[in-house]
Copies of this chain bind each other. A is one copy, B any other.
Amino acid sequence: MVCSINKTEKPTLSDPILIEGLPGIGFVANIAALHLIKELKAVKFASIFSSAFQDFAVTTGDGTARSPINELYYVKSANGGRDLIIWYGNTQALTTVGQYELVGKVLDIAQELGCKFVVSIGGFKKDEAVAVPGIYSTATDLETMQQALDLGTKVMVGHVFGIAGLSVGLAQIRELKGFSLLVDTPGMNPDVNAARYALLTLGKYLNLNVDLTNLEASGDEIKSMLESFGIVRSITEEKKKEEQQLRWFI
A residues within 8 Å of B by Cβ?
1-2, 6, 23-25, 47, 49, 51-59, 61-67, 69, 91-92, 94, 96-97, 99-101, 104, 137-142, 145, 148-149, 155-162, 165-166, 168-170, 172-173, 180, 228-233, 235-237, 239-240, 243-250
Q: Assuming the A-B contacts A51-B97, A97-B52, A158-B230, are A149 and B63 also in contact, with contact meaning beta carbons closer than 8 angstroms in the complex? A: yes
Q: Which chain B residue lies CB-closest to A160?
A: B57
Q: Assuming the A-B contacts A51-B96, A97-B51, are A57 and B236 also in contact, with contact meaning beta carbons closer than 8 angstroms in the complex? A: no
Q: Which chain B residue lies CB-closest to A162?
A: B55
Q: Which chain B residue lies CB-closest to A250?
A: B23
B236 and A67 contact, CB distance less than 8 A: no
For A145, what are the chain B residues with a Cβ–Cβ distance below 8 Å? 62-64
For A173, what are the chain B residues with a Cβ–Cβ distance below 8 Å? 6, 47, 49, 67, 69
Q: How far is the CA of A2 from the CA of B104 in the complex (A)?
A: 10
Kindly provide the distance from the CB of A169 to the nearest chain B CB, expressed in whole angstroms. Answer: 4
Most B C-beta atoms less than 10 A away, residue of A67, A168, A250: A250
A63 and B139 contact, CB distance less than 8 A: yes
B230 and A159 contact, CB distance less than 8 A: yes
Q: Which chain B residue lies CB-closest to A49?
A: B173
B231 and A240 contact, CB distance less than 8 A: no
A239 and B249 contact, CB distance less than 8 A: yes
Given contacts A56-B161, A57-B166, A64-B142, 14 further A-B contacts (CB under 8 A): A1-B104, A2-B97, A23-B250, A54-B96, A55-B162, A55-B166, A56-B166, A58-B165, A59-B158, A63-B149, A65-B180, A67-B172, A94-B96, A159-B229
